[in-house]
Structure 1
Amino acid sequence: MATWTGHPLIRPATASEPVQLFLLTCSLIGLQFAWGTEMTYCSPFLLSLGMSKSGLSLVWVAGPLSGLVMQPIVGMVSDRWTGRWGRRRPFMVVGTVGVVVCLVVLGWCGDLVGLFVAEDQRRRDLTIALAVVDIYLLDFIINIVQSTCRSLIVDTLPIEKQQLGSAWASRMIGFGHMLVYAVGALDLNSILGSTLFGDSQFKKVCVIAAIAIAIAQGATCWAVRERVFVSNGKTQDSTSKTAINMVKDLFATLRALPPRISAICWVQFWSWIGWFPFLFYGSTWVGEIYLRYDAPADSSSKDALSDVGRVGSRALIVFSFVSFGLSLILPYLARSPTDEEKSPFTPRPPRRLEPVLSRVPSLNAYKPTLPVAWLLANLTFTASMLFAPFVRSVHFATILVALCGLPWAIGGWASFALIGTEINKLSSPNPSAYAQLDTDDVELASAPASQSTLHIRHPSLESTASDPSNPNPSTGEMAGVYLGVLNIFTTLPQFVGTGISTLVFSILEPGKSPELATHADPEEHHGTDGVSGIGVCLFIGAVCAAWAAWRCRALGL
């Protein structure tokens, strides 16, 4: 049996529950600054240097490759980490330092190459090479931070709070998207001048992203106190396992996934074939539509990269507003997983609200379950992106991108809420038992009399989860492993999406981008007529999202 010292705690203990949940999940705001900067500006930046779209699609193998390698391994290592600062926060701190360095290098890679190379074409080629290497490093390091941020949420909250915690995570992701896209949509050179944070829009966005992730991660690491893992009770120290043994353990876990976790992973797999082109090319798609169809015919921009970044960011601002707004009300729109279980325990509202609620008809019967909500989300994404190849207006493109905010909010919430609940159930000595927390007291069902009472002091979310007799532990011992497995089913479809986009771009848009690579010879460009290659990739992703909706049936509707 695993042994621990201490217990999870979110500081300050006197703060309200929303404040504490904000501090627990605000690290995700900084992550979105890093991801948003990469997804909004890196594609047009590389295209402006002369890279082809088919070559660009191979660059974005960095995302799925890093996620496939880093998140499961970091999850397994952090699960067994015995350091005094806890299992997750040391990785968050080290990873954040690496992300900050990579973002700064990305913004100044042209200047760094220019210190050693003077010839224009060679400087562009080496800048592309340095940027690609830096993007790969950035993706690998971001995944270290992302893996441990998600695991920290699962570790800290008890079963009945997993859905609420996942909803807060979705809110922070939406809020982070809003902020980073709002920053990208501004003319930062006019606002900050030509010297502060660099002399270009791209440099300024990179620096702002670096500052944001440092502040957000620092806030969560300060606020959360983890319980410390001492031993797993085995003769061999689990932290001394070799990489080969860890890989073997990972594959053993994959082969023996519990049925419900397996079903969650497969829905995630098919839906992410659709999300990959949207996340990596959506901003560029909107910006190219603007340059092709809506840009003034009598004017040529001196900085097409900034134009594409700002127009794409404006569309994604609307997308993030929709996803953030929906994330605020998600916990009230779907039934909790614990509500679906048959148990002698009957949830009871706080005593002071009983006189009011007794006069209001129950709406629980009309609330969809989480699997139904996820199914509807995938159908919404399908209905939106089926139109992508036929868009000829930046306004219509913005509307389609905004509609995708709904499935993004629900998908990110549902997948982690469902798997977080399953992880904690598997970690419980009595999986059928669960507790309901309200502002007055705690009720516990199906607990043998010999077991000690579950102590949770509201609003501090402080739990004696280290007690092995606790029937509802707040820390899933296998959280890192199973979240790493979920990430495998998130990253593998991105390889599929990369193959699809490479093939589509090679056929429909070979050569350099005429909108961005203005320094290239005309014969090196592909044309601007015909169907957009990115639009076709989005269409194929919509078809895969439809199949993900069908797979939701395995979760029980």
Structure 2
Amino acid sequence: MPPAAQWTGTPSIKGSSESVRMALLTASLIGLQFTWGVEMTYCTPYLLELGLTKSRISLVWIAGPLSGLIMQPIVGVIADRSKNRYGRRRPFMVGGTILVSMFLLLLGWTREVVKMFITDKETAREATIALAVLSIYGIDFAINAVQGSCRGLIVDTLPIPKQQQGSSWASRMVAVGHLVGYGAGAIDLGKVFGPMLGDTQFKQLTAVAALTLCLTIGITSWAVSERVLVSNGKEDQEELGAMQVLQTIFKTATNLPRGIQAICFVQFWAWIGWFPFLFYSTTWVGEIYLRYDAPAEAKAAGDLTGQVGRIGSMSLIAFSTITFLMSVILPWIVKSPEDEKSPGFTPRPPASIASFVVEIEKYKPSLLTTWTISHCIFASSMILAPFVHSLRSATIIVAVCGISWAISCWAPFTFLGVEINRLSSPGGHSYGHVARTSMELESPVQLHLNHDFGDSHSPSTGEGSGVYLGIMNLYTTLPQFVGTAISWVVFTILEPGKSPELAKEAHPDEHHSTDGPNAIAVCLFIGAMSAAVAALATRRLKRIQNY
């Protein structure tokens, strides 16, 4: 039997209450989602304004899945075996954040950087596009390292009974990041900051995103203490070279436990649908506005990128508000997988409300059922996209998807966290005792985040969380290649030229027709079909793992 991994210290989080500790643990996701929001909201219209066609932009966005495909599994494997005295995740979080901030600022000031070296107008325009695309790739590669580490930190720190709670808090912070990001995008930042952070909305947003990311990653890194890996058993004798990293990823990916494999399969189909929504919905809403609702003076006012970003951000504020509300409300009315794994467990609340609580428990939907419903809601909304002809309708459809997004940011990570910690628990399957220990108490108890891993009743948490989270990210990024291919085909067929709504600003002498279907709406419709398949795959997960 190979020697077990050896650790020193215990995971701990600063804070005097459960809510404060959970908030500090997941605060990093606010900055992450803010940064993603700025990229997804503004980069598409920015590149369209520079003169790129939609079909070429769809190839630019291959940066997202490519970086996720490469970075998260590799960083996960390396971090899992890291013996850094500051822990396995936080060094990658901090280092990646520095790189993301540098590329964000470069993206915002691409024109100015290019003008320092190139004076010819046409050459400068082409160089600006190239540098903007390079910056987007840099942001995506670095932020994927940060994101994987932040998620791994949550799985590593929390015991099994708290995995759902941690994931639901993560979903709330993602919603807050969305809300803050889209709120910042919807207001005129020039009136708030003046020229201090730049002379355009886009520059100011990239600067604010860099500051927010540094602040939130700093808060989580300060508040959380990781246990430190001292010895990794047999693996200490193996050199961790490039081939060993790839072999570890391949071996794990091709021999996934059935439960994790089923979760990844759901993610694959779900993300074929989410990819066009997350990257193009803001542009779609803005184009609907310019095509059907915008007055002539708005079209002639200039800064169409800023207009599209602000209009699209307003719809995504509604999306983020609903996401946040659902991430707060749903965990109270949805059964945790832990509850379902303990069939003999009966809640024992105070006697005054016991009958009410027991009655409510009977009607709580399972997390698996809730996840299935979320796929159906998303599919039903996106099916309507090609038939939308008003800003109001587009905003309503985007907002409703906030229900599904709240659950999508929560459910898969809950199931994966439980599975990972079950696998690393003694015996690899039994954790009912741990769940009942803290849940059967009649009086409220403090959250035991600073749990002692030496206790035989506490599960060993997250020894392989990095590689498993990285592999699930493969199933999140691979469908984005599929989505990119679909987008490229649709854009090439329906809108082979420059964006009819946005390209006029960069090319005023050309004629761009807005006749025919909106290409992004067609991509959203195709995504709805994939979400329906994800709903069926989620139901199969119940049969595989009996959730």
| Shorter-chain TM-score above 0.5 | yes
Q: Secondary structure at the match of 2:88?
A: coil
Q: Secondary structure at the match of 1:527?
A: coil
Structure 1 residues 511, 523: closer, same or farther in 2, change over 3 A?
Answer: farther
Structure 1 residues 149, 521: closer, same or farther in 2, change over 3 A?
Answer: closer
Q: Mapping of 1:509-528 within 5 angstroms?
A: 509-519=495-505, 521=507, 526-528=512-514
Q: Tell me if the contact between 1:4 and 1:227 (Cα under 8 Å) persists in the aligned partners.
A: yes
* Match of residue 362, structure 1, among 336, 359, 362: 359
Structure 1 residues 235, 365: closer, same or farther in 2, change over 3 A?
Answer: closer
TM-score computed with the length of structure 2 as normaliser: 0.94
Looking at structure 1, the residues matched to 513 and 118 of structure 2 have their Cα atoms a distance apart, in angstroms, of 32
**How far did 1:442 drift?**
3.9
Structure 1 residues 236, 8: closer, same or farther in 2, change over 3 A?
Answer: closer
1:483 corresponds to 2:469: yes
Q: Secondary structure at the match of 2:164?
A: helix
Looking at structure 2, the residues matched to 531 and 271 of structure 1 have their Cα atoms a distance apart, in angstroms, of 24
**2:210: which partner in 1?**
210
Looking at structure 2, the residues matched to 435 and 154 of structure 1 have their Cα atoms a distance apart, in angstroms, of 19
Q: Mapping of 1:73-92 within 5 angstroms?
A: 73-92=74-93
Q: Tell me if the contact between 1:160 and 1:434 (Cα under 8 Å) persists in the aligned partners.
A: no
**How far did 1:49 drift?**
0.4
Gap regions ≥5 residues in structure 1: 445-456
1:425 corresponds to 2:422: yes
Q: Secondary structure at the match of 1:404?
A: helix
**1:497: which partner in 2?**
483
**How far did 1:104 drift?**
0.6
Q: Secondary structure at the match of 1:363?
A: helix
Q: Mapping of 1:118-267 within 5 angstroms?
A: 118-193=119-194, 195-234=195-234, 236-237=236-237, 240-267=239-266
Residues matched between the structures, number: 536
Looking at structure 2, the residues matched to 98 and 521 of structure 1 have their Cα atoms a distance apart, in angstroms, of 34
Q: Tell me if the contact between 2:49 and 2:506 (Cα under 8 Å) persists in the aligned partners.
A: no
Looking at structure 1, the residues matched to 432 and 26 of structure 2 have their Cα atoms a distance apart, in angstroms, of 23
**How far did 1:392 drift?**
0.9
Q: Tell me if the contact between 1:16 and 1:460 (Cα under 8 Å) persists in the aligned partners.
A: no
1:36 corresponds to 2:24: no
* Match of residue 387, structure 1, among 342, 367, 384: 384
Q: Secondary structure at the match of 1:230?
A: strand
Structure 1 residues 435, 157: closer, same or farther in 2, change over 3 A?
Answer: farther
Q: Which of 293-302 and 182-191 deviates more? A: 293-302
Give CA deviations for 1:289-335 in whole Å, capped at 9, x if unaligned: 11111100344121101100100000000000000000001211211
Structure 1 residues 520, 107: closer, same or farther in 2, change over 3 A?
Answer: closer
Q: Tell me if the contact between 2:424 and 2:460 (Cα under 8 Å) persists in the aligned partners.
A: no
Looking at structure 1, the residues matched to 80 and 541 of structure 2 have their Cα atoms a distance apart, in angstroms, of 27
Match of 1:266, as an amino acid?
F
Q: Which of 318-327 and 369-378 deviates more? A: 369-378
Looking at structure 2, the residues matched to 21 and 153 of structure 1 have their Cα atoms a distance apart, in angstroms, of 9
Q: Which of 329-338 and 167-176 deviates more? A: 329-338
Give CA deviations for 1:410-446 in whole Å, capped at 9, x if unaligned: 11110000110111111101321234579xx7479xx
Looking at structure 1, the residues matched to 109 and 260 of structure 2 have their Cα atoms a distance apart, in angstroms, of 43
Looking at structure 2, the residues matched to 117 and 360 of structure 1 have their Cα atoms a distance apart, in angstroms, of 70
Looking at structure 1, the residues matched to 467 and 82 of structure 2 have their Cα atoms a distance apart, in angstroms, of 13
Looking at structure 2, the residues matched to 443 and 47 of structure 1 have their Cα atoms a distance apart, in angstroms, of 54
Looking at structure 2, the residues matched to 116 and 483 of structure 1 have their Cα atoms a distance apart, in angstroms, of 42
Match of 2:227, as an amino acid?
R
Q: Tell me if the contact between 1:53 and 1:512 (Cα under 8 Å) persists in the aligned partners.
A: yes
Q: Secondary structure at the match of 2:398?
A: helix
Looking at structure 2, the residues matched to 204 and 120 of structure 1 have their Cα atoms a distance apart, in angstroms, of 25
**1:6: which partner in 2?**
9
Taking only the aligned residue pairs, the percentage that are identical comes to 53
Q: Tell me if the contact between 1:428 and 1:471 (Cα under 8 Å) persists in the aligned partners.
A: no
Match of 1:463, as an amino acid?
H
Structure 1 residues 311, 435: closer, same or farther in 2, change over 3 A?
Answer: farther
Give CA deviations for 1:97-135 in whole Å, capped at 9, x if unaligned: 111111111100111001122232221111000000110
Looking at structure 2, the residues matched to 187 and 516 of structure 1 have their Cα atoms a distance apart, in angstroms, of 20
**1:462: which partner in 2?**
450
Looking at structure 2, the residues matched to 436 and 330 of structure 1 have their Cα atoms a distance apart, in angstroms, of 23
Q: Tell me if the contact between 1:44 and 1:305 (Cα under 8 Å) persists in the aligned partners.
A: yes
Structure 1 residues 436, 471: closer, same or farther in 2, change over 3 A?
Answer: closer
Looking at structure 1, the residues matched to 407 and 367 of structure 2 have their Cα atoms a distance apart, in angstroms, of 9
Looking at structure 1, the residues matched to 506 and 87 of structure 2 have their Cα atoms a distance apart, in angstroms, of 53
Gap regions ≥5 residues in structure 2: none
Structure 1 residues 359, 129: closer, same or farther in 2, change over 3 A?
Answer: closer
Q: Which of 420-429 and 354-363 deviates more? A: 354-363
Q: Which of 409-418 and 298-307 deviates more? A: 298-307
**2:396: which partner in 1?**
399
1:544 corresponds to 2:542: no
Q: Secondary structure at the match of 2:7?
A: strand
